[in-house]
Structure 1
Amino acid sequence: MATELVLSAIALIGIAVIVPLIMSLAKFLGPSAGGEIKNDPYESGIKRMIGFADQKFSVKFYLLAILFLLFDIEAVFMYPWAVSIRELGWFGFTEMVVFMVLLLTGLIYILKKGVLNWR
């Protein structure tokens, strides 16, 4: 038991030493980072930027991101519920219905407020 633990620790320390060494060797053995295309600010072919670099984003972008996270978390909560629906029974079903009704109420609210309208 103790020898297996020591061997595991040695293996992990060895990996922790070898991986950075290989990565630093790749810097010297790989292609050079020079070149006109590589040094451009954008590699997508955009030669000049439209607008200023310190241009502020509209609050709608942040609000949309928060709404996306909210409904993404909802999906994360639904996966374990779907897996364990048989063990939860009717109580779990009613809890999920209440949860979905609350989220649907929030969705209806943001639609009525016009949050998703980009005009």
Structure 2
Amino acid sequence: MKIMMTMSMIVLMIVLAMMILVNFIAKKTFTDREKSSPFECGFDPKSPARLPFSLQFFLIAVIFLIFDVEITLLLPIIKTMTVSNIIQYSMVVIIFLIILLGGLIHEWKQGALDWAY
């Protein structure tokens, strides 16, 4: 117990020292609205400085991440079904899959899965 306490204190002190060191070394910039805007001899810029971002792509990426994380939650359940009560774990998996399908149907009806051309 004493060894774990000592090791955790050492790790905590190393982490705190690194955080303080990074704060001293890091480049500090103060962004100004005028400095970050594009300069074209005092005139308004001809084109926007930043490219437009596809919100549809972002929604598809977020939905993919959500369902990907939920699938990774299913994998340990498959492994533990061989050593545990199969009826209880089957009910858990069925309820989890019903929730997943409900979310998928909801996203489909909201139109988040329709790719806009």
Instruction: State the TM bucket, normalised to the shorter chain.
Output: 0.5 to 0.7
Compute the displacement of 1:105 (Å).
0.4
- The CA deviation string for residues 87-109 of structure 1, in whole angstroms up to 9 with x for no partner, is 14211110111111011001011
Distance of 1:61 and 1:101 partners within structure 2: 26
Q: 2:90 matched to 1:93?
A: yes
Pairing 1:36-115 to 2, within 5 Å after superposition? 54-86=50-82, 87-115=84-112
Runs of 5+ consecutive residues of structure 1 not aligned to the other structure: 1-50
From the superposition, tell whether residues 109 and 85 of structure 1 become closer, same or farther in structure 2 (CA, over 3 Å): same
Q: Which amino acid aligns with 2:115?
A: W
Q: 2:105 matched to 1:118?
A: no
Distance of 2:71 and 2:49 partners within structure 1: 35
Distance of 1:83 and 1:100 partners within structure 2: 17
Query: Which stretches of structure 1, 4 residues or longer, exceed 2 Å deviation after superposition?
Result: none
Distance of 2:112 and 2:95 partners within structure 1: 24
Aligned-pair identity in percent equals 32
- RMSD over aligned Cα, in angstroms? 1.8
Distance of 1:65 and 1:53 partners within structure 2: 25
Runs of 5+ consecutive residues of structure 2 not aligned to the other structure: 1-46
Compute the displacement of 1:52 (Å).
6.7
Of structures 1 and 2, the one scoring higher in RCO (CA 8 A, sep 6+) is: 2
TM-score (norm 2): 0.53
Distance of 1:89 and 1:116 partners within structure 2: 35
- The CA deviation string for residues 30-66 of structure 1, in whole angstroms up to 9 with x for no partner, is xxxxxxxxxxxxxxxxxxxxx9762121211111111
